[in-house]
Amino acid sequence: WGELGHQTIAYIATNLVSSATQTKFQSILGDTSGDYLATVSTWADTYRYTDAGTWSAPLHFIDANDSPPSSCDVEYSRDCGSTGCVVAAIKNYTSRVSSTSLSASDVKTAAKFVGDIHQPLHDENLDLGGNEIDVTFGGTSTNLHHIWDTNMPEKYVGGYGLSDAKSWAATLTKSIKTGSYESEAASWLDGIELSDAVTTAMSWANEANAYVCSTVMPDGISAVEDTDLSGTYYTKAMPVIELQIARAGYRLAAWLDLIVTGST
């Protein structure tokens, strides 16, 4: 996701964590404002483009070697790769957090990776997660990965500042608590297990990867390549983007609560 997606996920989590979790993370991050998670949620994106952080680039995704649109699935042993992947990253940071004291960079990293695993094209190998599939969006030349990360969320919300993220998060938090997601939200935590981060994160990866077949490219690459996707395609994609952002925020809150308090 781009800045808007990550910051929205962070604000949803901020709205949902326990007060013990909030106090703990505000202290670690040295920020007692309500923006303590949102302002660090894109740090890992900046870091991976620095010389010191090049090693971390593969930790933002897992390249499923499946065959969309006819067959979608992610397998840890087949797809994680020798340089690591987002599932291994969530496992490593979680175990580090449990075995030693929590550092600010661990928190920043966790916030980012739980978000990214919910972007369907971060769970897909084909054409570098869609980065090599050229498309246009409202006349702008871009690629399929980028419109899922950025163009579609920004068109929907109308901006990408912290205030835009905060208001989208308020809407989605309300949907979770008392609206359209209320009846299903508890099931988003099915199988969540702090002591088995790989199985937990793989279930999130498989759920997101399934949208590659159903929504991202249901009719294959040729149906989207060199096509403007700001019309019907966008209309069909947006409910999936909203659902995935809501799930990511809800699960991030639960994961942070598990780390701090041992229960969700």
> Within 96-135, which residues bind ligand DCM (CB under 6 A)?
121-122, 128-129, 131
Single-letter code of the amino acid located at 223: A
Among 91, 108, 145, 251, binds ligand DCM (CB under 6 A): 145
The reply on whether position 124 binds Zn ion by CB under 5 A is: no
Ramachandran quadrant class, 220 (left: phi over 0; alpha: psi -120 to 50; beta: rest): left
User: Do 259 and 22 meet the contact criterion of CB atoms below 8 Å apart?
Assistant: no
Distance between CA atoms of residues 201 and 18, nearest Å: 22
The reply on whether position 154 binds ligand DCM by CB under 6 A is: yes
| Per-residue mark of binding to ligand DCM, 43-62 (x: CB under 6 A) | --------------x--xx-
The reply on whether position 257 binds Zn ion by CB under 5 A is: no
From the list 222, 263, 245, the residue with the least C-alpha distance to 170 is 245
Q: Find where tokens 């090693």 sit.
A: 55
Q: Phi, psi at residue 218, to the nearest 5°?
A: -60, -25
Partner in contact with 157, chosen from Zn ion, ligand DCM, none, beta carbon below 5 to 8 Å by kind: none
Length of the chain: 264
Among 79, 149, 154, 164, binds Zn ion (CB under 5 A): 149
The reply on whether position 36 binds ligand DCM by CB under 6 A is: no
Size of the site for ligand DCM (CB under 6 A): 17
From the list 22, 56, 54, the residue with the least C-alpha distance to 37 is 22
Binding site for ligand DCM (CB under 6 A): 2-4, 57, 60-61, 63, 121-122, 128-129, 131, 145, 149-150, 154, 160
Site of interaction with Zn ion (CB under 5 A): 149
